[in-house]
Amino acid sequence: MKISQNIKVAVDAVVFGYQQKELSVLLIKRGIEPFKGTWALPGGLVLENESLEHAVERELLEETGVTIDYLEQLYTFGTPKRDPRNRVISVTYFGLVSPNHFKISANTDAAEVQWFPIHELPKLAFDHNIILTTALHRLQNKINYQPIGFELLKKEFPFSDLENLYQTILDRKIDRRNFRKKIMSFEILTETDKIHQPSSGRPAKLFKFNAKKYKELEKKGFHFEIKFA
């Protein structure tokens, strides 16, 4: 059977940000048609002699000014007519970063770039709302089998900061006593001799990540059943 194809390959990036107890996502406003003036995920077509990984890194840098060391492949979206111009298959990636580590700036096909709180998202172009929802579900599942937080929290932090990070990602209140017991059993935190004095509330001891143990668990994976309040 003779097969005729005219399929293009693209990459899209879902970059989640965590800062000040808020989960956000990095979006660009499209400067060209289709969907000109509409917010979308950063991304674009893969060049002929380019790897997928290099393509998503390039598009992210060109459209937002952001460079991320590691983006995890999420899913491949290939529904016909998802792009009104051509048959386009998108290989998507996602990552979680601290927004204050980057100075964002729009370029190439992007007219603007902005962080949006996850609960205050604008209407998105193409099928990017489906991609974003898929990425959020993956992230929420991921924290049950891989420790998260080493790159997002300060070098030394009160335990409540780690609790808030997980509650923000999961968008649910967790059983704090059970959470603390489980986290400490993995030995990825080291208690320091320093005290955090908040503007209100009781003083709290500061912790830091045990980088060696954290990286071991990150490679091996772990099962962490989170109980909710």
User: SS3 sequence, 45-62?
Assistant: ECCCCCCHHHHHHHHHHH
Please report where in the chains the tokens 């992210």 appear, as a residue.
60
What are the pLDDT digits (tens) for 161-170?
999 999 999 9
Per the prediction, the chain carries an average pLDDT of 92
In a domain, 203, yes or no: yes
pLDDT at 201 over 80: no
Residues 133 and 169 both lie in one domain: no
Residue the block writes with tokens 């399929």: 7
Query: Residue ranges of the alpha helices (H) in the chain?
Result: 52-64, 128-142, 159-170, 176-185, 211-220
Q: What is the pLDDT of residue 189?
A: 93
C-beta atoms surrounding 197 within 10 Å: 9
Average pLDDT of the segment spanning 135-155 = 87
Asked if residue 69 and residue 136 are part of one domain, the reply reads yes
Question: Which of these is catalytic: 22, 62, 72, 112?
Answer: 112
Whether residue 162 is found in the same domain as residue 122: no
For residue 50, which amino acid is it? E
| 206-228 per-position pLDDT tens digit | 999 998 888 888 787 777 788 88
Peptide bond into 203 cis (omega under 30): no
Query: CA 86, CA 8: separation in Å to the nearest integer?
Result: 7
* Residue 226 located in a structural domain: no
The per-residue pLDDT for 69 is 75
Q: What is the pLDDT of residue 48?
A: 94
Domains in the chain, number: 2
Confidence at residue 49, expressed as pLDDT on a 0 to 100 scale: 94
Do 162 and 128 share a domain, yes or no? no
**46 belongs to a structural domain:** yes
Asked if residue 198 and residue 102 are part of one domain, the reply reads: no
What would the mean pLDDT of 145-162 be, rounded to a whole number?
87
Taking the C-alpha atoms of residue 99 and residue 91, their distance in angstroms, rounded to an integer, is 24
Please name which of 66, 54, 57, 55 lies closest in space to residue 28, comparing C-alpha atoms.
66
Tell me the C-alpha distance between 57 and 118, whole Å.
22
pLDDT above 70 as % of the chain: 100
Q: Which of 142, 169, 198 is the last residue of a domain?
A: 142
Q: What was the pLDDT predicted at 139?
A: 93
Residues 167 and 123 in one domain: no
Domain extent, residue 199, equals: 157-220
Q: What is the DSSP letter of 1?
A: -
Are 124 and 182 contained in the same domain? no
44, part of any domain: yes
| 168 part of a folded domain | yes
Measured in degrees and rounded to the nearest 5, phi and psi for residue 153 equal -100, 165
- Token representation of residue 158: 């009160």
* 156 counts as catalytic: no
Q: How far apart (Å, rounded) are the C-alpha atoms in residues 142 and 139?
A: 5
C-alpha R_g of the chain: 20
Tell how far CA 72 is from the center of its chain.
Answer: 9
DSSP, collapsed to helix, strand or coil, labels residue 11 as: strand
What pairs with residue 117 in β-bridges? 24
In a domain, 152, yes or no: no
